[in-house]
Amino acid sequence: MADKILVFYGSYRSDRMGIRLADYLVRKLAERGAAPELIDAKAVGLPMLDRMYKEYPKGQAPAAMEALAEKIRAADAFVFVTGEYNWGPQPGLKNLTDHFLEEWFWRPAAVASYSAGRFSGVRAGTTWHAILSEMGMVPISSALAVGPIGQTLDEHAQPSGGAGDSLEKAFGRFADDLAWWTEAAREQKKRKAPPY
């Protein structure tokens, strides 16, 4: 059974470089036998958070929110691809994530950060570990940090140069870590129901 992995991306900018990393991850996870799906916050188009999914009467949430809630509940694991805005997470990705809570519980999550500069979005990535943990996910210890994004992946999300080689080397451990925790969570839920 292929692991169902949702890959979340949250930039709303018109010239989005991070989509290269999201596309790269979807492709590479599929090559390993997983069943990844890109969830683009801009394409989903949820409004700024007013009411969470759980705060709507059953069957009355906006259609995009209802569809995404179902995908989140059915997923085995998550990957969050985040840029860094002023040392923090992208507001588009954070807004999309905040619409849900219980839907995330008891699954592993991985963080892949990027930036145009040499710090590779690691400050936002570090922040996401705490956010995901608070939301009931289990953030894995392996992380990807890509920068400068424009020198690491070309316009077709193909690795380029030395930075691209480094990404290729780091991806294996990242994916192995996520796969291990994904299997562990799935098997544990078969043995024992989560406590809440």
Residue 107 counted as domain residue: yes
pLDDT digits (tens, 9 = 90+) for 27-73: 999 999 999 999 999 999 999 999 999 999 999 999 999 999 999 99
Residue 80 counted as domain residue: yes
* Closest alpha carbon to 44 in 97, 102, 114, 112: 97
Determine the average pLDDT of the residues in 74-80: 98
Q: Which domain holds residue 112?
A: 4-191
Residue 196 counted as domain residue: no
Gap between the Cα atoms of 65 and 119, Å rounded: 33
- Going by DSSP bridges, is the β-strand pair 88-89/84-85 parallel, antiparallel, or unpaired? antiparallel
pLDDT at residue 176 in the model: 98
For residue 108, what is the domain's CATH number? 3.40.50.360
43: which DSSP letter?
H
DSSP string spanning 117-146?
STTTTHHHHHHHHHHHHHTT-EEEEEEEEE
Contact 139, 185 (CB under 8 A): no
Give the number of domains in the chain: 1
49: which DSSP letter?
S
Contact 41, 93 (CB under 8 A): yes
pLDDT digits (tens, 9 = 90+) for 140-192: 999 999 999 999 999 999 999 999 999 999 999 999 999 999 999 999 999 99
Residue 180 counted as domain residue: yes
Gap between the Cα atoms of 143 and 141, Å rounded: 6
Sign of CA dihedral 178, 184, 190, 195: negative
CA 42 to chain centre: 14
pLDDT digits (tens, 9 = 90+) for 80-108: 999 998 888 999 999 999 999 999 999 99
Secondary structure of residue 35 in the 3-state scheme: strand
* Closest alpha carbon to 131 in 91, 170, 171: 91
pLDDT at residue 117 in the model: 86
Q: In this structure, how many other beta carbons lie within 10 angstroms of the beta carbon of residue 62?
A: 15
User: Listing from the earlier edge strand, what are the strands of the sheet with 4-9?
Assistant: 35-40, 4-9, 77-82, 108-114, 138-146
pLDDT at residue 37 in the model: 98
Residue 133 counted as domain residue: yes
Q: Dihedral (C-alpha) 16, 134, 126, 193: value to the nearest 10 degrees? A: -90
Mean pLDDT score across all residues of the chain = 96
* Closest alpha carbon to 41 in 62, 23, 68: 68
**pLDDT-based confidence at residue 118 (cuts at 50, 70, 90):** confident
pLDDT at residue 42 in the model: 97
